[in-house]
């Protein structure tokens, strides 16, 4: 009987899709508790590629209940398109049964996305209206899923919100396009009936009923957390452990908290990145790791693994075990470096300086690489000695066991450690 929290320990894109897919087999319920269509989980099964943005990865297995929780924000049209794409790939979806949306989740409508398009540049957002939807949620003006049941109130809210957003858009210049509230309402009305069967008021009760078999699927990563990440270059939700509770309304005991850590570091969008390699190393990691965004296609910034930030992320989430992903991407490296501390103004810091990371110099440790193809390794002893040493260095530094290592995209390219 295990409830599991799966959380990214970096800036997202750690390769959580594969882990969540493997873990979903062992859980009855899989729940997304934060974020929205800004996420992109890629799962490869028998060579077939599934790209999930909003729908929990448990949908790829028969008989699982998948929940989109309270603190998730979603675009109605994009949700239906994702469902249709999954059905086209042969995935069976029963609204309100194997795919459920909490009536407390938040709708992202075109006006929020339009404002993100003009405001999101500084942070380098995914342009999905994520931050604006969370702002409206905190400002108590947003539209939660339950409003879809009352069209006349919905219309009034949409009118008020669109008018307000048009003011904000106008502030950005006369050329920025204004939106028509009639259009926004009409477009939503056309798909309202399709959405309603997915929405339920009792997601909390479902989670309580399945206590002991719930997988909380985090999106993005700890360093992108609105409160605990490298603010302001963050997303607007809480991928970290606290988000599990506020995003679902249950305080189930989490027996396993699995921190997903990529064997190197990446970031999309702007903001500090202490161990970034804007050189041949970064290029090699990007090419070998195919580091281009699932959601936006943007090339990701690449660098060495930052264990100092990783330690902070383990502490924030109370991580009980690490899943190390994409180890094979390092197969060709002669020397492997990893960050183990930061210097600020010439002095080593003894706290995680999340607001000053941009002014910090990383302190590196290094070791010889292994220069062997690891993609066919299936058990720890198949790995070259130096790869095992790298894993041990990570365990020691993070004081947390590495329980799983990924050496490729396929479900089978995974090594379990005792």
Residues that bind ligand IMP (CB under 6 A): 11-13, 38-40, 123-126, 128, 130-131, 219-220, 224, 233, 235-236, 268-269
Closer residue to ligand IMP in complex, CB, 219/250:
219
Gap between the Cα atoms of 341 and 363, Å rounded: 5
We find the least distance from the C-beta atom of residue 113 to ligand IMP, in angstroms, to be 10
Strands 29-32 and 414-416: unpaired
Kindly state the smallest distance separating residue 380's Cβ from ligand IMP, in Å. 29
What angle in degrees, to the nearest 10, is found between the helix axes of 110-119 and 151-171? Answer: 20
| Catalytic hit among 5, 13, 19, 70 | 13
Which contacts (CB < 8 Å, 24+ apart) does range 58-63 have? Answer: 58/20, 58/24, 58/27, 58/29, 58/30, 58/215, 58/217, 59/30, 59/86, 59/91, 59/93, 59/98, 59/99, 60/21, 60/24, 60/91, 61/21, 61/24, 61/25, 62/92, 63/98
Residue closer to ligand IMP (CB basis): 71 or 220: 220
- Report the alpha-carbon distance of residue 218 to residue 211 in Å, rounded: 18
**Which of 219, 314 has the CB closer to ligand IMP?**
219
16 or 181: CB nearest ligand IMP: 16
- Shortest gap between Cβ of 194 and ligand IMP (angstroms)? 25
SS (H, E, C) 50-89: EEECCCCHHHHCCCCEEEECCCEEECHHHHHHHHHHHHHC
90 versus 297: smaller Cβ distance to ligand IMP: 297
- What SS3 class is residue 373? coil
Is 5 among the catalytic positions?
no
Smallest distance, ligand IMP to C-beta of residue 268, A: 4
Nearest distance, CB of residue 253 and ligand IMP, angstroms: 27
Burial class (CB in 10 A: 0-12, 13-18, 19+), 310: buried
5, 27, 41, 53: which one is catalytic?
Answer: 41
Answer whether 109's CB lies under 8 Å from 161's CB: yes
- Name which of 251, 241, 209, 204 is nearest 5 in CA terms: 241
In the residue annotation, 41 being an active-site residue is answered as: yes
CA gap 223, 259 in Å, rounded? 12
Closest approach of ligand IMP to the CB of residue 52, in Å: 11
Would you say 98 or 237 has its CB closer to ligand IMP? 237
Give the whole-angstrom CA distance, residue 238 versus residue 227: 7
Q: Which residues are catalytic?
A: 13, 41
């Amino acid at each position: 009987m295990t409830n599991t929290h799966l959380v990214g320990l970096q800036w997202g894109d750690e390769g959580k899709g594969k882990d969540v897919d493997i873990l979903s087999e062992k859980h009855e319920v899989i729940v997304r508790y934060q974020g929205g269509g800004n996420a992109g989980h890629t799962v490869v099964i028998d060579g077939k590629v599934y790209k999930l943005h909003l729908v929990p990865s448990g949908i790829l297995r028969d008989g699982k209940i998948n929940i989109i929780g309270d603190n998730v924000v979603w675009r109605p049209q994009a949700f239906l398109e994702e469902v249709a794409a999954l059905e086209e790939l042969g995935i069976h979806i029963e609204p309100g049964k194997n795919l459920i949306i909490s009536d407390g989740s938040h709708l992202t409508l075109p006006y929020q996305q339009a404002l993100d398009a003009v405001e999101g540049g500084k942070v380098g957002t995914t342009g999905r209206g994520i931050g604006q939807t969370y702002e409206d949620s905190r400002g108590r003006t947003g539209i939660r899923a339950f409003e879809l049941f009352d069209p006349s109130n919905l219309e009034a809210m949409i009118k008020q919100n669109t008018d307000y957003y048009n003011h904000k858009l106008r502030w950005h210049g006369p050329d920025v396009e204004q939106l028509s509230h009639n259009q926004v309402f009409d477009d939503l009305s056309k798909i309202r009936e399709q959405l309603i069967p997915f929405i339920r008021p009792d997601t909390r009760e479902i989670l309580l009923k399945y206590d002991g078999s719930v997988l909380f699927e985090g999106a993005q990563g700890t360093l992108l957390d609105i409160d605990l990440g490298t603010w302001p270059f963050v997303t607007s939700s809480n991928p970290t452990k606290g988000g599990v509770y506020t995003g679902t309304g249950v305080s189930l005991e989490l027996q396993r908290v699995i921190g997903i850590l990529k064997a190197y570091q990446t970031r999309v969008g702007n903001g500090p990145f202490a161990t970034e390699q804007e050189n041949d190393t970064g290029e090699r990691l990007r090419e070998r790791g195919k580091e281009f965004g699932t959601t936006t296609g943007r090339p990701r910034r690449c660098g060495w693994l930052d264990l100092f930030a990783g330690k902070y992320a383990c502490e924030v989430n109370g991580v009980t075990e690490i899943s190390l992903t994409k180890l094979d991407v390092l197969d060709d490296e002669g020397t492997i470096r990893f960050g183990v501390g930061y210097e600020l103004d010439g002095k080593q810091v003894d706290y995680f300086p999340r607001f000053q990371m941009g002014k910090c110099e990383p302190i590196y440790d290094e070791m010889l690489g292994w220069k062997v193809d690891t993609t066919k390794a299936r058990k720890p002893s198949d790995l070259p000695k130096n790869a095992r040493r790298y894993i041990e260095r990570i365990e020691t530094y993070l004081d947390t066991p590495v329980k799983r290592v990924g050496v490729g995209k396929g479900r089978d390219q995974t090594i379990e450690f005792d």
